[in-house]
Amino acid sequence: MNWEAITVTLQLASLTAAILLVLGTPIAYWLTFSRWRWKFLVEAVVALPLVLPPTVLGFYLLVAMSPSGAVGGWYRTLTGHQLAFSFEGLLVASVLYSLPFAVQPLTAAFGAVDVKYVEASWTLGVSKVRTFVRVIMPLSLAGIVTAGVLSFAHTLGEFGVVLMVGGNIAGVTRTVSIDIYDEVQALNYDGAAQTAFVLLVFSFLVLSVVYAVNRRVWAVWPMK
């Protein structure tokens, strides 16, 4: 097995999951408690990667991250390096692509908290931030764990977005999924089978954790 590709993949998945928990939490909180009339538009944008072909998302990200693109040009001016075909660019793409896998479980968990506890905390004069930390988060622990695990696992299996934005640079952007593809292209089916089996076992374990934490089948995705 290509341990270099495995290392890159684990780094990418860990950072993606951590960033998504930080970014996804306020988004999920707003989606849960906001009464804005047009909130469904934000929900649609967040869920878009679930239905959008990875190559389409990867294409638009590649255009934006190119040196002539708005984001890529700004990044190159700031750092002197290009964002496309770099680990940093791959990380940005992974965060956007896995966003719904963090936000939707968090939204479901926040929405399942009994509003009486939240209102009781507010009545006692506790601020919304402290109420969130002391009341909502402890009662939403299962959803938080699910969001982190799914974000991590989904990043492990990325292919289309990774190939479009990161390319296939050894030690930088070559992930496990791309390594399997390379092995198949080289007719090295034994090597591809070994790596694929490891991902299969890991994916099964991840889903086992998710369903162990969330006893209900639809606890992962909120039903509306």
pLDDT score, position 215: 62
Q: Which two tokens stand for residue 123?
A: 């009545």
Determine the pLDDT at residue 214: 67
pTM of the prediction? 0.86
Q: Given this model, what pLDDT does residue 223 score? A: 45
Alpha helices in the chain (DSSP H): 3-33, 39-51, 54-65, 70-79, 87-97, 99-112, 115-123, 128-131, 137-139, 141-156, 160-166, 176-185, 189-213
Q: Which residues of the chain have pLDDT under 70?
A: 214-224
Classified as helix, coil or strand, 156 is helix
